Amino acid sequence: MDTISDDDLILYHYRDGLAPERLAEIETALAAMSEVRERYEAIVRTLSEVDALPAPTADADFAQRLWRQLEPRLRADDAIARRRTWRDYAHALHVWLNPPRLAWAAACVLALAVGIGFYAGRQSAPTPDALAQARADAAAMRVLDAYVAEHLRATEGVLVTASNSDSTELLDGNRELAASLVEANRMYATAATRAGNTRLADFLRQLEPVLISLANPSQSAPVQPTDGLRDYLRATDLLFQVRATEARLQRTGERRT
């Protein structure tokens, strides 16, 4: 019985954290032992003093004041949540359509557009095959332009980050992005060749070694990170060419629609 500690008595007071048998033991000890009873009474007195402290109360206009402050925040929160929903969809699509997958999607859409054009040309009797094929080609080129423009925008971002950033974390992410762009770049070059756009295909082939260097910075040629890249970009005007080609593809894409 004398093993009943003050901690046990605190738990007994709150009737929490003790097994029923232990509660019964303490009850018995309190009835039988004055020493345990005195310790328990001291705890109860302490807690009663705490109870005697005035409870903190809010100002009379607290709820009103609170609501006045809350309401605009809730409204702003709702607006952000709505915007975020659209941004989330866009982001999810962007994440899902990572560069290699994007390139595959572009290639598939291109092939589908050519196929539909060919089929339509065969089926629609009054329309000459050539016209249907031309429409399909235009649609396919529009798709390719849009995808390549997006690819070049990502490439531009990689080049700018690699030449301007000193953050290791950012550069690590940039290397991963560059690596993912290499494969896509190759596929777009092939698609451009097939579509007869040799100028675009040549330009994309020119980009490939740069992307490979950025994806594998340990390899020396042709670009060394940061300072080397800055010099290389300045010497070759590559960044300007990327931006110009991207803008041209957007313009031609818009004209085709």
Partner 1 sequence: MTTDEARWIARASEGDAAAFRHLVDAHATQLFRVCARITGDKALAEDAVQEALINAYRHLRDFDGRSAFTTWLHRIAVNAALEQLRRRSRHEAAMPEDEAGDAFVELAESDPGPDRHARSAEIRREIEGELARMSAIERTAFVLRHHEGQSLEDISATLSLSISSSKQAIFRAVRKLRAVLEPVE
Binding residues for partner 1, rule: CB under 8 A, are 6-7, 10-11, 14, 16-17, 42-43, 45-47, 49-50, 52-58, 62-63, 66-67, 69-71, 73-75, 77-78
For the chain, what is the radius of gyration of the CA atoms? 36
Backbone dihedral angles phi then psi of residue 50, each to the nearest 5 degrees: -65, -40
**Measured from the CB atom, is 10 or 114 closer to partner 1?**
10
**Measured from the CB atom, is 62 or 240 closer to partner 1?**
62
CA atoms lying within 13 Å on the CB side of residue 82: 5
**Measured from the CB atom, is 57 or 257 closer to partner 1?**
57
Angle, helix 6-14 to helix 20-32, in steps of 10 degrees:
110
Least distance in angstroms from the C-beta of 56 to partner 1: 4
**Measured from the CB atom, is 75 or 199 closer to partner 1?**
75
> 209: Cβ–Cβ under 8 A, 6 or more apart, which residues?
221, 222
Least distance in angstroms from the C-beta of 67 to partner 1: 6
51: Cα separation from own chain's centroid: 51
Least distance in angstroms from the C-beta of 82 to partner 1: 9
Least distance in angstroms from the C-beta of 1 to partner 1: 20
* Tokens (6 digits) for 144: 């390719």
**Measured from the CB atom, is 24 or 66 closer to partner 1?**
66
Distance CA 145, CA 60 (A): 65
**Measured from the CB atom, is 77 or 202 closer to partner 1?**
77
Distance CA 257, CA 253 (A): 7
Residues comprising the chain, all counted: 257
Least distance in angstroms from the C-beta of 10 to partner 1: 5
Q: Which helix (H) or strand (E) holds 235?
A: helix 227-236
Least distance in angstroms from the C-beta of 250 to partner 1: 38
Distance CA 83, CA 90 (A): 11
Alpha helices in 33-128 (DSSP H): 34-52, 62-96, 99-123
Number of H helices, E strands in the chain: 10, 0
Least distance in angstroms from the C-beta of 244 to partner 1: 45
**Measured from the CB atom, is 37 or 186 closer to partner 1?**
37
